[in-house]
A and B are shown apart, each in its own frame.
Chain A
């Protein structure tokens, strides 16, 4: 149980275009999902907290107009990288917490999406 999927697993796009990444909780409902960015040989950097039915909460330094997050249902959150540039190339990871677990409970992670902007 507690499986999180991401689609696509990898994507190559041209500079200036937009890319949408989907994060789905397959066997549980997730009121809260998180989006991270992982740089090579670096830790996970939290980008934003995605709450179902409300606006996402972005971490300091993350451009909300560039990284659009939508959490329209209890099983799906999307991250859209708008007007992508080569510096946006990275590994994007989502995670989810089961609904009703508002405390410090463990998260379930997706396998990640490798974005390359040319």
Chain B
């Protein structure tokens, strides 16, 4: 079965420190991986994606993610966290079931303290 796991419900980090939000996946076939962010009272926003090519993907707001096939992971990273990065982050995988649909992880809430 296709699935996405985000093992941490919450991640706390101090402003200016690097942050990592973890994601692992289980899919048959090629993995198409995404990160979305949800700010309070706003819709999910696309951050970045891995379809093919370089394992290190750069996205919006200084975020990046590294695709690791052997570890089936796609962790989200940022070198220096901002208070404004505090939000709910979703890892997702797109699967082809006669048309692509997206399966979301449970979400990880990121708190960045000033």
Contacts and interface: CB of A to CB of B under 8 A. Distances in A.
B101 A111 contact: no
Q: Which of A4, A102, A107 has the most C-beta atoms of chain B within 10 angstroms of its own C-beta? A: A107
Contacts of A112: 43
A32 B44 contact: no
Given A4-B43, A104-B51, A106-B49, A46 B106 contact: no
Contacts, number: 50
Contacts of B103: 46
Contacts of B68: none
Chain A CB within 10 Å, residue with most, of B46, B49, B105: B46
Contacts of A93: 43-44
Interface residues of A, number: 22
B45 interface: yes
A104 B96 contact: yes
Interface residues of B, number: 23
A32 B106 CA distance: 24
B48 to A, nearest CB: 9
Contacts of B99: 32, 49, 57, 102
Contact of A111 (B32, B43, B106, B107): B43
Interface in B74-114: 90, 94, 96, 99-107
Interface of A: 4, 32, 34, 42-44, 46, 49, 57, 93, 95, 102-112
